[in-house]
Structure 1
Amino acid sequence: MEPMDINGGRFYARKLTSDERINDLPALATALGHPVDDDAVARSYQAWEEDTVYTWAICEQTSVEMLALARLRRGDDDTADLEVLPVGDPATPVPNDPMLTPVTIADAVEQGGATIRRWATGFLGIHV
């Protein structure tokens, strides 16, 4: 399967990107707690094509900034494990439109993870 974006309301999950417009590599390294090489995004796309691991950057609806890293690992049966890692301190407020309710990186982790769980159940038919 090709990487796909999932709209979840206040937060959305998009494919990892590393190009002249968006570079997720620094945020990816922060979430993982170690440096990542330039091929990390390409490897994530390969895992999508192999239907083994689906990886997303979770972002606030008005931004492309990666707030959390989500990885859904498929099991041998109709199950999967979801890991959602914050990019930095979960208590950090997310800069956004002052008309919107304030949110934090922890909200991105929680709500982004819930969106991916619903997608996995509804689209893939697997239990997370």
Structure 2
Amino acid sequence: MEPIEINAGAWYLRALRADDRIDDRPALTEGGVTDPDYVARRSAAWAEETHFSWAVCEPTTAELVAEIGVTPAGDGTASITGWARPGYQPALEAGLTSVRRFIESGLGLRPVSS
């Protein structure tokens, strides 16, 4: 599956990136994610449909302020996790609400929080 972008009101959700236009790795490091292959693994998981992840971003700068992940369980459910950089908990909450709706209506899965 190709990554799906989601509009979450004041926040924009997109796939994680590390390219010449946008590099989420510095913001991920602030969130404790230091694996240099993290973004590549998340991209591969979209293609394999084993894990879906979104960067919750400031819409004017595309800066990652939180991350949301969804892992399908194979039984019609999907676990949802997320974290936010300090001061961005409202962005995470708005993103989680939108991702839950997408998981239910777009993928037909019942979301469960981890």
TM-score, normalised with respect to structure 2 = 0.90
- Other-structure match for 1:12: 12
Match of 2:98, SS? helix
Match of 2:106, SS? helix
Task: Give the total of aligned pairs.
Answer: 111
- Other-structure match for 2:100: 117
Determine what percentage of the aligned residue pairs are the same residue: 38
4+ aligned runs moved over 6 Å, structure 1: none
Contact 1:79 1:126 in 2 (8 A): yes
Higher strand share: 2
- Please say which structure displays the higher CA radius of gyration: 1
* Distance (Å, rounded) in 2 between the aligned partners of 1:84 and 1:34: 12
- Other-structure match for 2:26: 26
Show CA shifts across 1:55-89 (max 9, x none).
110013323000101111110211011111012x1
Show CA shifts across 1:81-120 (max 9, x none).
1111012x1xx2xxxxxxxxxxxx1110100111111110
RMSD in angstroms over aligned alpha carbons? 1.2
- The one-letter amino acid of 1:57's match is A
Structure 1: which 5+ runs fail to align?
Answer: 93-104
